[in-house]
Chains A and B, each alone.
Chain A
């Protein structure tokens, strides 16, 4: 953002102050994530930069905590990772199916009580998690599903569907309904039309909703804390316990892996968003 030549000096100064402020805020946003990265390779047990690390001494760095994460004795991370992935995958599938179908109904112009129903459907996103946690716990305890994978998956479907509903309704708002009518006039039944015509067109929205649902489940800790037994431990629960009891560098190794995972998800989500914007004809 170059300034025009005729800018007066005091605006020029103001402009540089503004850029400095922006730089500081970006630093504040992103720098904390990058602290974890080098510290996870610390050869020592401390959570601050050792003298050796400051001198970039190769001996001060090691893969010790990564080894501990994978091979460590009495290690909870393996089970936690397995549980987290299983729960997140099933929760995502459930959220995507329920959310997409509901979004199709909501985008129909015939839908009665649209505002009220929309408010109910996305309420799990608005209600503070602690309250959702208490309410869902009461339900699961009554239904005998506390401390089971099924219970946690259902809870995460509740929390994940609002994201799918929102992204898919947004995609459908730019959807040209004449193509489905065209398909119907050519003799296609509604299910076939949905699978062959509608779904491929709204797929970017569905997938990005699914990504949100996946991340919500994978990252969710409040509700799981109420629901999980020892067998259902997940990565967030292990991190929560670890952070409360003793900050060990193994947690940083796990955190680094999670940051890499979220980078991958971010890139996918961004590519999808741009694709769907291009399809909707929003030019940059």
Chain B
């Protein structure tokens, strides 16, 4: 045999390898073209907007654009003493323009985020600025209110000069940058977000645990019963699964209210006095009970699909080798169900951590989650960048869990119904 290996050629003289690659590439393009419409649709309408949230959450151009001359004049100011006349004059010029465009209200809202107390002094400044005389703006502005003569407030304005900010993320962790530029926590009694994050994790965790404890026995029963019984019982799992979330929440509201069915029943059997009915709704209990029932099918279904593949002879073998039924279960059956447990727990946890509707309806003030806070800032305070920041923090948490899920179970193994 010669040292040159003879290339295999196709009939038209092209090397087989090249020809094969060409055909493969054609198939690749064909397959990709099928996926492309959905992929591009999702990228434009969904993936980019999530990126947009990221930009919004760090965006702080608003104040930068409202006070361009001021910030330019402030560049050389060291922030120790009150700024020079030059800064005051620039601020006056910017401010007049804002008043003309009727945007000074927005400025006061924005500056108030940085330091409380701007709202009133900006209002005062607007009224006073009409009578300002030309020149010596420092004196004139400082005479409007004593806070205008306070260097702290000018430092607060300077802190808004950069176009990007991490303040929204800090705020979501109940922290802020103080006058010296250090990151510190807010006072103890004003820490609302940390409590919410912790409560979100706590509720998601315990709902997952409750779901697991309840789902395991019934998934086992469904997997071991003869088909004709298990099909019937399966309906008990699938009917809630297919029923509207709001319908199920409504039924819990009826059951759990003070004059509701559960309380009536407790009074009826003499467990509680009629005039001392416990509050089971508009608190954490409400969130726990309703979320557990609503998410239970998501735990049962993956467990069931794993348990169905476990041969009953394995348990018999375990017992015949001298194990008690309990040991046979613990050493043989349980380890085999771990993939299902992982799938179910992660699925329920992911769903629970982002829950919004049910806690908003039955959770009251003490049973709401971080999602409710996001919705509140989207709809009520209209602080969309703050909502975006919290949303992205939640999202990154979910993505970590999703990544774990993919490692353990594989996305392709998600089964529905």
Contacts and interface: CB of A to CB of B under 8 A. Distances in A.
In the A-B complex, the 7 residue pairs with the smallest Cβ-Cβ separation, listed nearest first, are: A128-B354, A105-B34, A105-B35, A108-B31, A110-B27, A135-B49, A102-B38
Contacts, number: 277
B278 interface: no
27 contacts: A25-B218, A28-B296, A29-B297, A30-B239, A32-B255, A101-B35, A108-B34, A111-B35, A112-B28, A121-B38, A127-B395, A131-B394, A134-B378, A138-B56, A158-B41, A158-B45, A161-B42, A208-B417, A219-B244, A225-B379, A240-B357, A243-B249, A247-B254, A255-B247, A255-B251, A258-B247, A259-B243
Interface in B37-90: 37-39, 41-50, 52-53, 56
Given A221-B245, A247-B253, A128 B395 contact: yes
A80 interface: no
Contacts of A243: 246, 249-250, 253, 361
Given A108-B30, A135-B391, A212-B416, 15 more contacts: A1-B225, A29-B240, A33-B248, A101-B34, A106-B34, A110-B28, A110-B31, A112-B28, A118-B412, A127-B395, A130-B356, A131-B374, A135-B52, A163-B416, A269-B242
A180 B31 CA distance: 15
B257 interface: yes
Interface stretch (B6-14, B98-106, B184-192, B229-237): B229-237
Interface stretch (A42-50, A64-72, A181-189): A42-50
Interface residues of A, number: 93
Contacts of B261: 35, 48-49
B227 interface: yes
B354 A129 contact: yes
B221 interface: yes
B368 to A, nearest CB: 12
User: Which has the most chain A C-beta neighbours within 10 Å: B233, B259, B264, B357?
Assistant: B357
Interface size class of B (residues with CB under 8 A): 35 or more
A191 interface: no
B316 to A, nearest CB: 11
Contacts of A123: 42, 46-47
A210 interface: no
A47 B45 contact: no
Interface in A24-44: 25-26, 28-30, 32-33, 35-36, 39
Interface string B204-218: 000000000011011
Chain B at the A interface: mostly helix, strand, loop or mixed? helix
B125 interface: no
Nearest to A211: B242
B243 A33 contact: yes
A219 B395 CA distance: 23
